[in-house]
Amino acid sequence: MTMKRNFGYVLISILGLTLGSCATKSTTTAPQAQPAYELNNLPKVELKDFKKNSSGAYVLFDGSSLNGWRGYNKDHVPTKWAIDNGTLKFSKAPGGNAKAEGGDIIFAHDFKNFELEFEWKISHAGNSGVFFLAKEVKNQPIYISSPEYQLLDNQNHPDAKQGVDGNRKSASLYDMIPAKPQNAFPAGEWNRAKIVVNKGKVTHYQNDEKVVEYDLWSTSWTELLQTSKFSKEKWPLAFELLNNVGGKSKSGVIGFQDHGDDIWLRNVTVKVL
């Protein structure tokens, strides 16, 4: 009887070790979940290296230098962006070269609470946009992580008639909230734009009038995303990033869009709040 008990004990012990070893092996070799996206860690600039204007705002573009600017997810300025008579201009075919390098352009500093001001004019039937609180996501467009203040020739670009209630017209929160009143000047004329971001509250101004207001990181923000092209069902990665705009730091870069149409920008300033 004693021998049988010992044999049974040994057998159970061996089986336990075998099963335990299998379980451990299975746990350690199981594939690890991969992140849905990866951020680029490209060089940034310090604001202290830039001058301030009389109102205390940092001058990001003074008409003479592209210091601080580079392409989105790039370490240089794409050749379709250049200084043109004191403006920052995107040209669809600079010098007749349609194959020049394009892409969105950013100012390489993470802003959190700020007032961004600039002037812009656009070509006939032109389309562009400005981004903020954006992250540089590898192999993804800038608008996957950033709200967009639309820049558009409302009279001649087809986007003005798309979307809902004019929410793709100039100064609108693109595809979500229409700018009202819609007071943009025609193509070829200068417009004034201001975007204020302060502790999640965002306000769009166009030609000195408040035209859009919304709150990031709120239930209403999530609802806006869900009724747009960035909904969880239509574009899950964009929904994830936009629903958490700015990530943990609630900050990001400012950028202007290459939409294939000529656009001019000037007097680009940011006041840190």
Residues 87-141 have pLDDT tens digits of: 999 999 999 999 999 999 999 999 999 999 999 999 999 999 999 999 999 999 9
Whether 36 maps to a domain, the answer reads no
pLDDT of 65: 96
Q: What is this structure's pTM?
A: 0.86
Domains: count for the chain = 1
Residues 6+ apart with CB under 8 A from 45: 67, 68, 107, 108, 109
pLDDT of 220: 98
Phi-psi category of residue 139: left, alpha or beta, with phi > 0 → left and psi -120 to 50 → alpha: left
Listed as ranges, residues in the chain with pLDDT below 50 are 1-29
Which DSSP string corresponds to 47-80? GGGS-B-TTS-EEEE-SS--TTEEETTSSS--TT
Whether 90 maps to a domain, the answer reads yes
Whether 167 maps to a domain, the answer reads yes
User: Can you give the CATH number for the domain in which 200 is found?
Assistant: 2.60.120.560
Output 95-102 pairs: Cβ under 8 A, ≥24 positions apart.
101/71, 102/78, 102/258, 102/260
Residues 35-50 have pLDDT tens digits of: 589 999 999 999 999 9
pLDDT of 233: 97
pLDDT of 35: 54
Whether 236 maps to a domain, the answer reads yes
Whether 197 maps to a domain, the answer reads yes
Whether 211 maps to a domain, the answer reads yes
Residue 86: domain span: 47-272
pLDDT of 36: 83
Contact present, 125 and 259 (Cβ < 8 Å): no
Whether 26 maps to a domain, the answer reads no
Whether 21 maps to a domain, the answer reads no
The two tokens of residue 9 are 């004990």
Cβ atoms within 10 Å of 133's Cβ, excluding its own: 24
pLDDT of 21: 38
pLDDT of 118: 98
